[in-house]
Amino acid sequence: MTEIKISSSAKINLFLEVLGKRKDGYHQIETVFQEIDLHDNISIKDREGGDINVEVSPALNIAKENNIAYKAAKLIQNKARQFNKGADIFIEKRIPIGRGLGGGSSNAASVLKGLNELWHLGFSLKDLAILGKEVGMDVPFFIYGGTCLGSERGEVITPLPRFSGVNVLVLWPDFPVSTALVYKSISSSLTKKKRSAKLLTEALKINDFEGAKKHFFNRLEDVACEIHPLLYQFKKQIGSFETGNIIMSGSGSAFFVVLPNDWKKEEHIKKEILKLKGGYYIGKTLPAY
């Protein structure tokens, strides 16, 4: 095998609480990740000589060395001591950047899994997750996929009962949000009473999806909206036609709403979405690999 093709999926956060600031400068969080079928397309071709090339379309305005997918490729190459093995990596971006949907972390995880298979390295999912956290805190989740609890900095992953096959509508404004800026601005929220993901995870254990939706939460939403007041306006516009609890994903700027199983109003939703300045995706949640 000299080439492998991978779908690199996005995520939403069904729950996200910030528990405090760690000594290492990161924030300790509790989050419930959910993979969705919005995805980038990645192809990886084997090449001799050790060079790692990464091409992204549409092109990113960053140096190759700063691309998290490139960092992941170099990491697994060095870890496996495959210095005579290289790769040409092409990434077709469909997941919007800077919207809290995890596209970059997903690309990194897909590259780790892809090269592990292409080069016949034999790393387990646990091995790849350990590698993944060296390039990004969300990368370990994407190694496992599906529905997972993330703790510590988000990199400690516990698989949860699946929340797959559920209809989801994801919407994002025409501007990104800086994750670093949101976390930097969160100090005032750290004094608020903390919420726990326990009620959500218990609902998932008994397949009570309707009950689970009542416990969706994101501590970062108010922080991001304070930084970008236009997010308040965007969410208000979504609220004029939504059919459930609207929650921001990650540090934003995307929002999502889980739709009923019998939902058949896509054309109505599309007409309303066209009035917004941004994008949208209608799809489903995914199971683990």
Phi first, then psi, for residue 149 (nearest 5°) are: -90, 130
Give strand pairing partners of 10.
Answer: 36
Euclidean distance between CA atoms 250 and 279, whole angstroms: 17
Contacts of 229 (CB under 8 A, 6+ apart): none
Euclidean distance between CA atoms 92 and 282, whole angstroms: 19
User: How is 13-79 classified by DSSP, letter by letter?
Assistant: EEEEEEEEE-TTSPEEEEEEEEEEEEEEEEEEEEEETS-EEEEEESPPSS-GGG-HHHHHHHHHHHH
Contacts of 158 (CB under 8 A, 6+ apart): 148, 149, 150, 151
Of 237, 226, 229, residue with least CA distance to 277:
237
In the chain, the amino acid numbered 184 is K
Strand-pair category, 52-57 with 85-92: parallel
Whether 68 contacts 131, CB under 8 Å: no
Residues labelled catalytic: 11, 138
